[in-house]
Amino acid sequence: MFRQLGKLWIPPVTTIALACSGSAFAQQNYKITDLGANKNSDNFNMVMGLNNLGWAENMDGVLTPPITSTSTTILSGRAVISIYGTNIDLGTLGGKNSWTNYGGINDRGEAVGMAETSVPDPDGEDFCGFHTNRTCLPFLWRHGHIVALPTLGGNNGQASAINNHGQIVGIAETKVQDPGCPPSKPGKIISPVLWDRGEVRTLPTVDRDPDGFVQGINDRGQAVGSSGTCSNIAIHAVLWENDTAVELPGLGPTGNDAYAINDHGQAVGYVTSPDRTTIFPTVWLDGARGAPTSLGILPGDGAAFATGINNRTQVVGSTFNSQGWSHGFIWQDGVLTDLNSLISKDSNLFIIAASNINERGQISGMGTVMSGPDAGKIHAILLTPVEESIGESAADVARTHPASILPAGVCIHHLPKLVPTLLQK
């Protein structure tokens, strides 16, 4: 989606709907914790799931150097749970690699994701993204054991998120050939699915879209994601409730997606401007009943999306510039803030992404290591609110922060095809 974000046109005033919050927050400072690496050889680590205990589900791996914003190969990766400094490798389903999407851990310590098997994909697909062409299955990790979740008869699938009742959402490949795929790259229809008590159930799409991707679920069983086609699975942002799909409104007919939903039914994601030149981080404060609220974009960046929201309507996400990942942000009370301005200048990490925020206000994501033996590597991070003043911030002393070595697509497993002005300088 953001293989190369160039100089994007940003409308001078982009308030899609006014945000109304029931309670105001004083701006919070944070202590940043480096969650380290699963293995010394890893050069990329990001928290993709965070529960209310502060347990993190990370994706830890090795990306091919030199890593650029236009081309990256993921050589290896593992889904890992980090618990107060201890990393637990969740393993695989017979292959070498596993990975995760946003929202993959609940308060019971159950985790979900995707893992390779030892079986080559009969159609030569690379569903897990490790260039091994092994079948890729959704998994549930519980009580120290990893098990595969059922699919819809196809070879592959991914589990994205799990709530505190054990309901899981994601995608599953079917046996049906997708008519929207180009002849040069045929594929099967990918259905949005819900796993409940071990059984898989297909969820509908909107606007007769053949494919869909569920990415977040709350404790009320409401889920969000997108639906679209083989070449662009994120055409419409979607809210699912009681096995019914409703489109979340955007600015235009295409290019919208939702990543997470809180227990009030408020969802976050992104919408694309009507002229398809800009991607705005978005919150749907009234679900499908109201207009989307743009969170804005930090100065100097060209696009952004939101991936986490808690029940206090605090929203976090990531911004991008022409080189790739740029800043992690928090949005609250209508104000968008660079998280680097809320951590001490003594930090050796510059925050380039924020993925989740829990009910304690802890924020997860990833940061670039500024100096030392791991300089230039990407480490998983956890931010914890603190009351004391931090003095000068990391943003104050790193006005020209090190360029991210990561394209946005590293952490996004379905990449909507946007117009060339979004992908080129």
CA distance 73 to 71: 7
CA distance 311 to 359: 7
Spell out the domains of the chain, with CATH numbers in brackets: 29-69+176-190+208-423 (2.120.10)
Q: What pLDDT is recorded for position 24?
A: 59
Residue corresponding to tokens 């945000």: 19
Could you tell me if 53 and 384 are in contact, meaning their C-beta atoms sit under 8 angstroms apart?
no
CA distance 260 to 281: 12
CA distance 343 to 3: 29
Could you tell me if 59 and 97 are in contact, meaning their C-beta atoms sit under 8 angstroms apart?
no
DSSP state for residue 421 in the 8-state scheme: H
The beta strands (E) that lie in 43-163 are given as 44-50, 56-63, 74-83, 86-89, 98-99, 111-120, 134-142, 145-148, 157-162
Q: What is the β-pairing status of strands 44-50 and 56-63?
A: antiparallel
Q: What pLDDT is recorded for position 295?
A: 96
Could you tell me if 226 and 212 are in contact, meaning their C-beta atoms sit under 8 angstroms apart?
yes
Residues 233-251 as b/e (b if ≥16 CB within 10 A, e otherwise) read: bbbbbbbbbeeebbbbbbb
Secondary structure (3-state) at 296: coil
CA distance 117 to 94: 4
Q: First-to-last CA distance in the chain?
A: 14
Angstrom distances, CA of residue 401 to CA of 215, 369, 404: 31, 11, 9
CA distance 91 to 83: 16
Give the number of other CB atoms < 10 A from CB of residue 304. Answer: 27
Q: What pLDDT is recorded for position 207?
A: 92
Per-residue pLDDT of the chain (425 residues; tens, 9 = 90+): 322 222 233 333 333 333 333 445 667 899 999 997 767 777 888 999 999 999 999 998 888 754 444 456 788 899 999 998 899 999 999 999 999 999 899 999 999 999 999 999 999 999 998 999 999 999 999 999 999 999 999 999 999 999 999 999 999 999 999 988 888 888 899 999 999 998 999 999 999 999 999 999 999 999 999 999 987 888 999 999 999 999 999 988 789 999 999 999 999 999 999 888 899 999 999 988 889 999 999 999 999 999 999 999 999 999 998 878 899 999 999 999 999 999 998 899 999 999 999 999 999 999 999 989 888 889 999 999 998 888 788 887 765 555 554 555 544 444 333 322 332 32
Q: How many CA atoms lie within 13 A of 398 on its CB side?
A: 27
